[in-house]
Structure 1
Amino acid sequence: MTEIATLRSVVPAVAAPGEDALPHNIEAEQQLLGVILTANEVYDRIASLVRAEHFFDPVHARIFEIAAARIQKNALASPVTLKAFLEDDPGLKELGGPAYLARLAGAAISAYAARDYAQMIYDLAVRRELIALGRDISSKAAKVEVASEPRDQIIEAEQRLYKLGEQGVAERGFQSFLKAVTDAVNVANAAYQRDGGLAGISTGLIDLDKKLGGLHPSDLLILAGRPSMGKTSLATNVAFNIAKAYRRGRLPDGGEGAVEGGVVGFFSLEMSAEQLAARILSEAAEVPSEQIRRGDMTEAEFRRFVEAAKALESCPLYIDDTPALPISQVAARARRLKRTHGLDLLIIDYLQLLKGSSKENRVQEVSEITQGLKAIAKELNIPVIALSQLSRAVESRDDKRPQLSDLRESGSIEQDADVVMFVFREEYYREREKPGDHDLEAMAKWQQIMEQVHGKAEVIIGKQRHGPIGTVELAFEGRFTRFGNLAKPWQNGSEGF
């Protein structure tokens, strides 16, 4: 009842002079209540759609609330049983007392129309909430206060609008096993029909796709590694591959969307959008990134660079390089991108640079961030890839391959993630073990090892909820900061890229 009182205080029942009356339909409310009081089983059909606060008349809201409470306890809700609870209700007395309940029941028509009445009551309640939200935004904007920044007001308004728009979408409740099985068969069929047999979005890296089955909607994937291992490069490569392959068409459910590739949102909290674009262009044009930075290119390289830039203009890859973003803003901006351009994959570079609301405890803050990222993945039904730093414990071991225990700051990263992957390049560590030129035997051995590890990288899958763990070998070309498919010896020397 407090929610109703609050709603009534925000949105007056009687419009102020010069304002329009709030949208409502008293007759629809009376008909729905009458049907419920004469046929209690109708309540189960409309309970997921209408709540007490959706009724415009506060007396009707109280009648619905008490009737619902009794029906939920398997007790009868009728004019006679409700009379005892509402005899002293001042609002009901104005309408004629308990006799009003009998009139409601007597005027009720067919139970078949109950769902339509419920839908109308809900729709009108949403309209009233929109009006209330508009007035609230207007009122807050009119008050010029130091503590209330316009940017914060926009984010708050956007969150409230999105929440209002998503009402009822996530409230799925129980579904029959038949429906669940049908959905599972449809996913398997989509994978069977798709090239490469993937259920999710292809990363463009064949061996990684085989191990993961592509990137699945609602999954949170953590991509972790020590500095200089190539986390950002791998994430950028995946983002570029997916955006480049984007093709829109009709989905199996009849809607429109990405049938190949997808729209990618990239939160780059460490690098600027220009630096990230330079990396992608380096990969696409096959011009070393350091040459792009210096402008040190031959005419042929520059022509390739310009051609690659033109080809990439239409790629649906959106970059946000705002530093130190709170997790709430990441969610709000991701929703906005999905609404305006669509969104099939979200990448965050990197997790530790996001901010949570907890200022005292870093572990709690990281936990809030990972839970927030998982919530975004489920809410928007997209895969979310979050990059993460690893602790220095890796450096102190002989075998530098990362493990789940190396994830920094919180066990919640491992707990909330559906997939945890580590990027590891042995070449990086071996380069730093180069012996002196005078030790010829050690130098020969070092050169032999370097030949074996040169241009190779490993993606170690340490956790996967829906599939196997293990290691995927990739090719890595440092000049272009590019990961690719590694050519196997039995593939007759076919190209890795």
Structure 2
Amino acid sequence: MTDNVIALLPHNIEAEQAVLGGLMLNTDEDRCQTVLSILKPDTFHLRGHRAIYLALRGLIKTHQPTDLITVSHALESKGELDLIGGFGYLAQLCQVPSVASMVNYARIVRDKAVQRYTLEKLYSCIELVNANNGQDIESKLSSVQQMITAVTDHARTGRKGGLRPASDVIGDWVDDIDRRFSDPDGAAGFTLGIEDLDRLMAPKQTLRGALVVVGARPKMGKTSTYNKIATHFALNHRVPTLVFSLEMTDRAIIERMVAQEAKVNSEIFYVGAKNDSDMARAMAKAGELAESNLMIDSTPGVTLAHIEAECRKVKRQRGDIGLVAVDYLTLMKPEAAERRDIAYGDITTGLKNLAKELNCVVLLLTQLNRKLEERADKRPHPSDSKDSGQIEQDCDVWIGLYRDAIYNKNSDPTLMEMILRLNREGASGTAYSKMVDGSIRDITHEEGERLAQTGQERTNRYSKKSLSEEF
């Protein structure tokens, strides 16, 4: 943008002055904290006003006075007093019309900043669309959508992308810590809704911005795990939950989700229930899901660009997304690339970037190579991922599903091991659950270990018996 355009960008100098003067004269702590929550240093249009606000904020956070003398001393110690117009300009700011109205003045300043940021992004969109840089129109439109999403996010949170001063980041981090201790239930990240797995991932749980990959061979319970996590986000965390299923229809997904939450066999929806309470419980759960923030897209063979566009639209409309769930990687339509692993690697990297951009959790299911079945121990590892070696680098959490009964008939047919191989924010290890009628059921860690040990002992006895019969 030209200097003339920048000079014409929306601003209200009088409102900025009134906020700064109000903070210097203010004696109401609640009013002061409200202003600090509304404004960031770069919300101010004038560079000098940003410097004054930084000085005021530093004094407030260290519980020091914010009168004319202390503010001028703070600025002078940084060599910024002359930059802002000297002691005289600070004295002029103290002639504020009404200290009691400074929250209203702060909202005016913020609104002007949002307008400026919006215009800056719109100019960038125009430049991007007109640029002859070799990008195809789909890529340009994806970038435009990303910038528009950044505008709406800025309007809601006041945060911008790009480089940020460490002081701003630390300020946000300290605010997060305050929220954690004031709200212990919301102190950590998201639980996944599987008790033994949540125990293993405590205390941080799954943080926003994380890519969670669940990998398994067929019949291990990937879709059931996926449904369990998605319904937990929608019904317990009560956040917008976006489900992209490339394998099942939307009605089939809902049917399995309802059956799982109601703890009934999905066959009752075809042959009827033996007792009325099962069907009543299922319909009640269906009603809860209908009123939740769950959204389902069962478009086959979708691209990464499709998922990004749909997610950004919801982010703009609702202001927040908790979970984006994709079932599963190799059913997505990749962009052209030299090799399949490169193409699918681009998708996993894109989904990780989407998690960070939208500040949500992305859950991705992936098939594993059949070569793992040639090993004596068939429990999966991230390196077993099919068609993509990039997954291990991109994901924050990697969970492999394993049911020993698929390979050993003497093992408990319901026992599922959830093997947390990679967890960048916490411990790794094995959690246990059960698969009953195609649904996940919680069990204690001790019960899971007992069932696993019993199955191993039965397998060993069967092997010894077979050997003795041979000889």
TMscore range, shorter length:
0.5 to 0.7
Instruction: State whether structure 2 residue 232 is matched by structure 1 residue 241.
Output: yes
Q: Which residue of 1 aligns with 2:384?
A: 406
Aligned residues: 355
The 1:174/1:302 distance shift into structure 2, 3 A limit, reads same
Identical columns (%): 26
Q: How do 1:163-178 residues align onto structure 2 when only pairs under 5 Å count?
A: 163-165=150-152, 169-176=160-167
| Offset of residue 421 of structure 1 | 0.6
Q: Which residue of 2 aligns with 1:486?
A: 444
Distance, in Å, in 1 between the alignment partners of 2:140 and 2:170 is 45
Distance, in Å, in 1 between the alignment partners of 2:193 and 2:10 is 58
Please state whether the residue corresponding to 2:407 is helix, strand or coil.
Answer: helix
Instruction: Report the AA paired with residue 182 of structure 1.
Output: V
| Offset of residue 128 of structure 1 | 8.0
* The structure with more radius of gyration: 1
Instruction: Report the AA paired with residue 234 of structure 1.
Output: T
Q: Which residue of 2 aligns with 1:225?
A: 216
Distance, in Å, in 2 between the alignment partners of 1:154 and 1:43 is 37
Distance, in Å, in 1 between the alignment partners of 2:366 and 2:10 is 57
Q: How do 1:190-339 residues align onto structure 2 when only pairs under 5 Å count?
A: 193-194=184-185, 199-213=188-202, 214-246=205-237, 261-292=238-269, 294-298=270-274, 300=276, 301-339=278-316
Q: Which residue of 2 aligns with 1:161?
A: 148
CA contact 1:205–1:485 (8 Å) conserved in 2: no
Deviations 1:404-449 (A, max 9, x none): 2212222210001111111111122223xxxxxxxxxxxxxx4xxx
The 1:313/1:409 distance shift into structure 2, 3 A limit, reads same
Distance, in Å, in 1 between the alignment partners of 2:232 and 2:10 is 56
2:328 is aligned, of 334, 350, 363, to 350
2:430 is aligned, of 447, 459, 471, to 471
Distance, in Å, in 1 between the alignment partners of 2:141 and 2:170 is 43
The 1:117/1:489 distance shift into structure 2, 3 A limit, reads closer
Distance, in Å, in 1 between the alignment partners of 2:188 and 2:9 is 49
Instruction: Report the AA paired with residue 391 of structure 1.
Output: N
Q: How do 1:104-183 residues align onto structure 2 when only pairs under 5 Å count?
A: 123=115, 126-127=118-119, 130=122, 158-159=145-146, 161-165=148-152, 169-176=160-167, 179=171, 182-183=174-175
Please state whether the residue corresponding to 2:162 is helix, strand or coil.
Answer: coil
CA contact 1:327–1:356 (8 Å) conserved in 2: yes
Distance, in Å, in 2 between the alignment partners of 1:361 and 1:314 is 43
Distance, in Å, in 1 between the alignment partners of 2:326 and 2:180 is 29
Instruction: Report the AA paired with residue 383 of structure 2.
Output: S
Structure number with the higher helix fraction is 2
CA contact 2:233–2:322 (8 Å) conserved in 1: no
| Offset of residue 266 of structure 1 | 1.0
| Offset of residue 330 of structure 1 | 1.2
* Structure 2 residues without counterparts, runs of 5 or longer: 12-45, 52-87, 94-107, 131-135, 449-471
| Offset of residue 183 of structure 1 | 4.9
CA contact 1:24–1:125 (8 Å) conserved in 2: no
Q: How do 1:384-463 residues align onto structure 2 when only pairs under 5 Å count?
A: 384-431=362-409, 446=410, 450=411, 453-463=412-422
CA contact 2:196–2:445 (8 Å) conserved in 1: no
Please state whether the residue corresponding to 1:387 is helix, strand or coil.
Answer: strand
| Offset of residue 374 of structure 1 | 1.1
CA contact 2:10–2:116 (8 Å) conserved in 1: no
CA contact 2:304–2:347 (8 Å) conserved in 1: yes
Distance, in Å, in 1 between the alignment partners of 2:239 and 2:252 is 22
Instruction: State whether structure 2 residue 11 is matched by structure 1 residue 25.
Output: no
Q: Which residue of 1 aligns with 2:181?
A: 189
CA contact 1:266–1:320 (8 Å) conserved in 2: yes
The 1:158/1:396 distance shift into structure 2, 3 A limit, reads same
Instruction: Report the AA paired with residue 148 of structure 2.
Output: L
Distance, in Å, in 1 between the alignment partners of 2:161 and 2:377 is 45
The 1:232/1:187 distance shift into structure 2, 3 A limit, reads farther
Distance, in Å, in 1 between the alignment partners of 2:407 and 2:229 is 24
Please state whether the residue corresponding to 1:457 is helix, strand or coil.
Answer: strand
The 1:171/1:156 distance shift into structure 2, 3 A limit, reads closer
Distance, in Å, in 2 between the alignment partners of 1:340 and 1:219 is 22
Q: TM-score, normalised by structure 2?
A: 0.63
Deviations 1:13-51 (A, max 9, x none): 9xxxxxxxx9973998xxxxxxxxxxxx959969xxxxx
CA contact 1:233–1:483 (8 Å) conserved in 2: no
Instruction: Report the AA paired with residue 212 of structure 2.
Output: L
| Offset of residue 391 of structure 1 | 0.7
The 1:380/1:339 distance shift into structure 2, 3 A limit, reads same
Q: TM-score, normalised by structure 1?
A: 0.60
CA contact 1:24–1:121 (8 Å) conserved in 2: no
CA contact 2:9–2:116 (8 Å) conserved in 1: no
CA contact 2:235–2:292 (8 Å) conserved in 1: yes
Instruction: Report the AA paired with residue 394 of structure 1.
Output: L
Q: Which residue of 2 aligns with 1:437?
A: none
CA contact 1:23–1:127 (8 Å) conserved in 2: no
Distance, in Å, in 2 between the alignment partners of 1:382 and 1:125 is 23
Please state whether the residue corresponding to 1:245 is helix, strand or coil.
Answer: helix
| Offset of residue 184 of structure 1 | 6.4
Please state whether the residue corresponding to 2:376 is helix, strand or coil.
Answer: coil
Instruction: Report the AA paired with residue 244 of structure 1.
Output: L
Distance, in Å, in 1 between the alignment partners of 2:49 and 2:344 is 41
Distance, in Å, in 2 between the alignment partners of 1:456 and 1:265 is 29
